[in-house]
Structure 1
Amino acid sequence: MKNDPRPGGRARLLSLADRIDAVVRQIGEWATWLSLAMVLVTFAVVLLRYAFDIGSIALQESVTYMHAVLFMLGIAYTLGRNGHVRVDILYERFSRRARARVDLVGTLLLLIPVCVLIIWLGWAYVAESWRVQEASREAGGIPAVYLLKTLILIMPILLLAQGLSNALRNWLFLSGMEEALPPSDGGVSRA
């Protein structure tokens, strides 16, 4: 903690990053259970249809809803675990400090503006869906399309939170706080 006028300032920022990571991780771990639920519900749909000649639009739509929730809530979780696929030529050869600089600049110049744009463009779309209480167009479908569309706003908010955590960690690391970054990339492979 060199040259820090408030000795606890960096520690508080790291603590904030830890809290954000914990919330995003909890949401992501909850969402991962949806993959099992999707398999079970898909099995039930097939069993009902072919063994008992019973169809359920709502049950079929629920698989789509779970799939959307899994991915939309899992994006920030994956970012926090550095699990996104990268096609890189130079990044893997960079020093840890150079990667921290690239990640910080990428977060500030790419991730944050894109998330703000998604929120800005999606707000009216989601608000209109809530206003009319949008439901499935299919008879017997799930009457809560507006809840599904809300993910259009939740996803960038979670990404912004995780991006803030990542930016804080990279900035703290670059300013001399070695413990701000995890010891490794967590064994994530890159294509």
Structure 2
Amino acid sequence: MRAIFLSTCQVLDRVTVALCAVACVVLAGAVLGTVILRFGFDSGFIQLQNLAAYAFAILMILSLPYCLRRAGHVRVEVLSERLPDGYLRIADSVALVVFLVPVFGLLAWAWMPDLIYSWSIWEGSIETGGLGGVFLVKTTLPLSGVLMILQGIAVLLDPEGVGA
């Protein structure tokens, strides 16, 4: 069961990495296109600006589980240098149970009414002539919360602590 869970989390991590890579390329292309259009041709394209904003939002939101899986999170601990080696493992376990699971579980649960409404109206851009699909971007927030919980558990179950 543990091996199946870890391999599932590894597949989800790879999908997250792919989505982050695509979002990064789309973001760079959209910003470059916007700058070239604005300063080279003195014209604007609101859909391209919306695309850049959507790609940035997706990249930032999905970077959370990516970073957690690789132990890239920032630690603000003054005492950890003086404590035994097993301290970080215990601190991570406690943080997962006390903070990560409840906070990201609440995030995913509390966001659902807004997400359901957004999907029901196929929410689009607030700007006139803007790009549709805000409901897809909003979907990544609870998705990221679920991925954070799964990757946090996977980090604790993985013998090395950091996998991928």
Do they superpose with TM above 0.5? yes
Structure-2 separation of matches of 1:33 and 1:157: 21
Corresponding residue of 1:42: 31
Q: Provide Cα deviations, 1:24-64, integer angstroms capped at 9, x if missing partner.
A: 14412441343233222211111112221221111001111
Gaps of 5+ in 1: 1-11, 170-179, 187-191
- Pair 1:114–1:34, CA change in 2 (3 A): same
The residue number in structure 2 matching 1:122 is 111
Q: CA RMSD in A?
A: 2.0
Of 72, 90, 97, 1:101 maps to 90
Q: For each residue in 1:76-108, what CA deviation from the matched residue of structure 2 results, as whole angstroms up to 9, or x when unmatched?
A: 010000001222212244333221111011101
Distance 1:29 1:95, change over 3 A: farther
Aligned residue in 2 for 1:9 = none
Larger displacement relative to structure 2 (54-63 or 95-104): 95-104
Which residue of 2 is the match for residue 74 of structure 1? 63
Percent identical pairs in the alignment equals 29
Counterpart position of 1:112: 101
1:155 aligns with 2:134: no
Q: Secondary structure at the match of 1:96?
A: coil
Aligned length: 163
Unaligned stretches of 5+ residues in structure 2: none
Q: TM-score, normalised by structure 2?
A: 0.89
Structure (1 or 2) with the larger CA radius of gyration: 1
Question: Do the aligned residues in 2 keep the contact of 1:118 with 1:153 (CA within 8 Å)?
Answer: yes
Q: Is the 8 A contact 1:80 1:162 kept in 2?
A: yes
Matched, 1:181 2:156: no
